Amino acid sequence: MGAVREMPLAQPEQSVVSQERDRSRLLNIVTIVTIIAVAFGFYLSLFYAGTDIEQGEVQRLFYIHVPSFSGAFMAFGATVIGGILYLRTRNVKWDTLAVAGIEVGLALSVLNLVTGSIWARPIWNTWWNWDPRLTLDAIMILTYSACLMLRNGIENMETRRRFSSVYGILAFTTVIATLMITRIRPDTIHPVVFGPVLTAASQMNAVGGFELAATPGVATAVGYNSAVWCSLVPLTLMWHRIRLENLAQRVNALKARVLSE
Amino acid sequence: MKTTSFPKSLFIGIVFLFLLVPAVQAQNRIGLDAFHNSPDGFHVLIPQGWENLSTQSYARFSNAGVDIYAASVPTEDVQAGIAQAIDLVLPDFDSEPSHVSQVILSNGTWTQQVYPASDEQYVTAYGQVYGGSTYVIVWYSTQPIQPVIVSEEDVQTGITSALAILGSEVDEPTSSETITVNEQTLTQNVYDGITATGRVRGGSTMVMVSTAESEINPTIFFTLLTDFFITPMTTPYLYLGLVATAVITIVFIGSLIIRQRNLQKDLQTLETLQAEGAA
């Protein structure tokens, strides 16, 4: 158990200031690229992809619904990596990565859940039901929400980070379960549009699926949006969240120093 | 060094993502020609081997003297809608239906209008009201072949009823056999000068009545009719989803910005306090 490595305190050196400026500039570039990439994805989704003949225009929510889960998966995955590396090294930066992953993953999961619910209203004739996929998705969101709340309730910083790391690693099982349930259970009505199905029976009750090749532009829009939302979107949001956490740590450290003087 | 190599990698990654568009689009072309997608929101299977003569106003498929039309007209009165659709696709056809009935198919209830044969024109039309419009499919033939659907689950009773609707009084068929066309099992009855081919689908019997030898696949029309899609109007839910997406995004990014600003204010205050303390 090594000692916890805290952030450098205020009054940074000139080289550190220069590095921060470079990072900020890079973050601005990444943010602009992400905005352009997401905007282009919306163009593909709303204007380029054809209208699904069975579901109509609401099917276009699919281009937000699925990619947002992909983004959440990557963010929660980053939480696992951050948690493991924090437990191994006790370096605060890994805890910062983990908490950024939780927050970004939660935002993207909520987006996934809300767009799915709106899509379900005309297609399943209900906003919500206790389908295994929907139930697990709700459990996943509640699990990560609880992680943030419990984390903030622990005063001791080292204990907080250790608790958060272990929780973040274990909570990932809910993400895996949410991803896999529609590919295994026969009693789900949630469709699997792409990716492997582990048991053929798992899709026999599915409602609202569609063939990617049945409508022009659908595969393109799905492929592009998924690529952007599972790479650029979580990367950019997490980077902003990490910068925020670093600033918070700096403020807390300075506050402690001022109070002690 | 780090700050220059990462943007380069990012740029290459973005270029790669954009290259996915034409690559995936190329794969997308498989099977796209199977349906005629009308701007009016309906979609209909293009029969294999039939000439696609569709226009922006209606779908039209033609084969050896037989035309099948599909059109939509903005009325909720189904009979008026069928009349308007026939005026649109067959402007010279002028006749009143001899038979009107409701038929239940897998894609909803259709109003059937059978027109009496005249001047070597054989017409049957089906209409369905959805979302303020009437969607119509019209069979038009210059050969003596005409389709009829009856609400019968027994194929022999169905064929007899269909022949009665067309005004053909028949006794027992001279032959009755089961044939397979396009992997569909059909019952074919031959009478004196009349051939009637029927199949049961759901609770209805679909019958194609012919008084002439023809190479037209009699199952085409019914396959087309049952594969006819009307795209539902779900646009308001798309708008709702986009609004929800915008709200969630704004709330999350807004919270990041507000927290950042608050922390920067705190930092400034603390730095001022520290400087004052040092002084």
Give the SS3 label for residue B71. strand
User: Is-contact B228 B107, C-beta < 8 A?
Assistant: yes
Q: Nearest chain B residue to A64 by CA: give it.
A: B245
Q: Which residue has the higher pLDDT, B195 or A211?
A: B195
Closest CA to A124 of A191, A60, A202: A191
The pLDDT, as a whole number, for residue B2 is 42
Q: Which residue has the higher pLDDT, A209 or B260?
A: B260
Over 70: is that where the pLDDT of B21 sits?
no
CB-count burial class (<10 Å; 0-12, 13-18, 19+) for A197: middle
The pLDDT, as a whole number, for residue A165 is 96
The pLDDT, as a whole number, for residue B105 is 86
Contact B32 A216 (CB under 8 A): yes
Q: Which residue has the higher pLDDT, A141 or A214?
A: A141
The pLDDT, as a whole number, for residue A135 is 94
Judging by DSSP bridges, how do beta strands B35-37 and B195-201 pair with one another? unpaired
User: Is-contact B114 B127, C-beta < 8 A?
Assistant: no
Over 80: is that where the pLDDT of B85 sits?
yes
Q: Which residues contact A252 (CB under 8 A, 6 or more apart)?
A: none
A chain contacts of residue B6, beta-carbon cutoff 8 Å: 26
- Give residues 196 to 255 of B whose Cβ lies within 8 Å of A: 229, 231-235, 237-238, 240-241, 244-245, 248-249, 252
Overall pTM > 0.90 = no
Q: What is the pLDDT of residues B148-186, one digit of tens each?
A: 999 998 999 999 999 999 888 778 899 999 988 777 788
For residues A93-122, average pLDDT: 96
Q: What is the pLDDT of residues B225-247, one digit of tens each?
A: 887 878 778 889 999 999 999 99
Residue B3, chain A, CB below 8 Å: the answer is yes
B134 alpha carbon, distance to own chain's centre: 13
The pLDDT, as a whole number, for residue B74 is 94
User: Is-contact B105 B204, C-beta < 8 A?
Assistant: yes
Q: What is the pLDDT of residues A28-42, one digit of tens each?
A: 999 999 999 999 999
For residues B6-24, average pLDDT: 56
Percent residues over pLDDT 90 in chain A:
64
For residues B24-50, average pLDDT: 67
Over 50: is that where the pLDDT of B26 sits?
no
What ipTM was reported for this prediction? Answer: 0.89
Over 90: is that where the pLDDT of B252 sits?
yes
d(CA A54, CA A189): 16
Q: What is the pLDDT of residues A121-138, one digit of tens each?
A: 998 889 999 989 999 999
User: Is-contact B76 B67, C-beta < 8 A?
Assistant: no
Nearest by CB: B245 against A26, A115, A121:
A115
The pLDDT, as a whole number, for residue B32 is 39
Q: Residue B25 — very low, low, confident or very high, per pLDDT cuts 50/70/90?
A: very low
Contact A258 B264 (CB under 8 A): no
Structure tokens at A148: 């943030």
Over 60: is that where the pLDDT of B197 sits?
yes
Cα radius of gyration (chain A): 21
Q: Which residue has the higher pLDDT, B211 or A193?
A: B211
Contact A58 B273 (CB under 8 A): no
Which helix (DSSP H) or strand (DSSP E) does residue A213 occupy?
A: none
Contact A213 B28 (CB under 8 A): yes
As beta bridge partners, residue B45 has B35
Q: Which letter, b or e, does each residue of B76-109 get, where b requires 16 or more Cβ atoms within 10 Å of its Cβ? A: eebeebbbbbbebbbeeeeeebeeeeebebeeee
Q: What is the pLDDT of residues A193-231, one digit of tens each?
A: 776 666 666 666 677 777 767 677 888 899 999 999 999
- Give residues 67 to 96 of A whose Cβ lies within 8 Å of B: none
B chain contacts of residue A49, beta-carbon cutoff 8 Å: none
What residue type is assigned to position A177 of the chain?
A: A
Residue A187, chain B, CB below 8 Å: the answer is no
The pLDDT, as a whole number, for residue B164 is 92
Structure tokens at A150: 């419990």
Over 80: is that where the pLDDT of A259 sits?
yes
Give the SS3 label for residue B232. coil
Structure tokens at A170: 């274990």
Over 90: is that where the pLDDT of B118 sits?
no
DSSP symbols for B201-218: ETTEEEEEEESS---S-T
The pLDDT, as a whole number, for residue B1 is 38
Q: Which residue has the higher pLDDT, B216 or B65?
A: B65
Residue B260, chain A, CB below 8 Å: the answer is yes
User: Is-contact A64 A226, C-beta < 8 A?
Assistant: no
- A 10 A CB-CB count for B23 gives 13
Q: Residue B28 — very low, low, confident or very high, per pLDDT cuts 50/70/90?
A: very low
Closest CA to B79 of B87, B69, B67: B87
For residues A84-88, average pLDDT: 96
Averaged confidence pLDDT in chain B: 84
- Give residues 75 to 134 of B whose Cβ lies within 8 Å of A: none
The pLDDT, as a whole number, for residue B214 is 60
Over 80: is that where the pLDDT of A9 sits?
no
Q: Which residue has the higher pLDDT, A3 or A185?
A: A185
For residues A66-75, average pLDDT: 95
Distances in Å between the alpha carbon of A224 and those of A71, A147, A231? 13, 32, 11
Q: Nearest chain B residue to A254 by CA: give it.
A: B270
What residue type is assigned to position B72 of the chain?
A: S
- Give residues 8 to 67 of A whose Cβ lies within 8 Å of B: 10, 22-23, 25-26, 29-30, 33, 37, 40, 44, 50-61, 64
Percent residues over pLDDT 70 in chain B:
85
